[in-house]
Structure 1
Amino acid sequence: MFAALFFFSFTYPVMAVSNQAIHWGLKKASNGQQAEAGPKLDKLLDEHGAFYKGSAKEKVLYLTFDNGYENGYTASILDTLKKEKVPAAFFVTGHYLESAPDLVKRMNKEGHIIGNHSWHHPDLTQVSDEKLKEELARVKKETAQLTKQKDMKYLRPPRGIFSERTLKMAKEEGYTHVMWSLAFVDWYTNNQKGWQYSYDNIMKQIHPGAILLLHTVSKDNAEALPKVIKDLKKQGYRFESLDDYRKKQKRISA
Structure 2
Amino acid sequence: MTDLPGDGKLLAWTVDDGSSSEVIQKYIEFAKATGMRLTFFLNATYDGWSTHADLLRPLVKSGQIQLGNHTFSHADLTSLSDDQVIAELQKNHDFIEKTFGVDARPYYRPPYGYRNHRTDRLAASIGYTTPVLWYGSLSDSGLITDQQVVDFATQWFLPQHIVIGHLNFLPVTEVFGQLEQIIRSRGLQPVTLNDVFDKPA
Matched, 1:126 2:99: no
Task: Report if aligned partners of 2:136, 2:161 keep a CA contact under 8 Å in 1.
Answer: yes
Equivalent position to 1:144, from 97, 119, 122:
97
TM-score by length of 1: 0.70
- Answer whether contact 1:181 1:211 (CA < 8 A) is retained: yes
Cα distance in 1 for partners of 2:48, 2:158 equals 35
Which whole-Å CA distance do the structure 1 matches of 2:49 and 2:186 have between them? 35
1:172 to 118, 121, 125: 125
Larger Rg: 1
Which runs of structure 2 are paired with 1:144-223 in the superposition (5 Å)? 144-175=97-128, 176-189=130-143, 192-193=144-145, 195-223=146-174
Equivalent residue letter for 1:128: S
Deviations along 1:142-192, one digit per CA (max 9) or x if unpaired, are 222212214533111111111111122212321121111111431223xx3
Correspondence 1:29-44 to 2 at 5 A: none
* RMSD across aligned positions (CA): 2.1
Aligned AA for 1:60? L
> Does 2:178 align with 1:224?
no
SS at match of 1:162: coil
Where in structure 2 are the equivalents of 1:27-176 lying within 5 Å?
51-55=1-5, 57-96=7-46, 98-111=47-60, 112-175=65-128, 176=130
Supply the AA of the counterpart residue of 1:74.
I
Q: What's the CA shift string for 1:97-127, capped at 9, x where partnerless?
A: x453032443332131121111222211111
Which TM-score applies when normalising by structure 2? 0.87
Give 4+ residue runs of structure 1 displaced > 3 Å after superposition.
none
Count of aligned pairs between the two proteins = 195
Q: Could you tell me how far apart the structure 2 residues matched to 1:137 and 1:105 are?
A: 22
1:55 and 1:208 in contact (8 A); partners too: no
> Quick one: distance in 2 between partners of 1:247 and 1:103?
28
Query: Take 2:121 and 2:97, find their aligned partners in 1: how far apart are those partners?
Result: 24
Aligned in 2, Cα 1:60/1:197: closer, same or farther, shift over 3 Å? same
Query: In the superposition, relative to structure 1, how do residues 229 and 184 fare at CA in structure 2: closer, same or farther (>3 Å)?
Result: closer
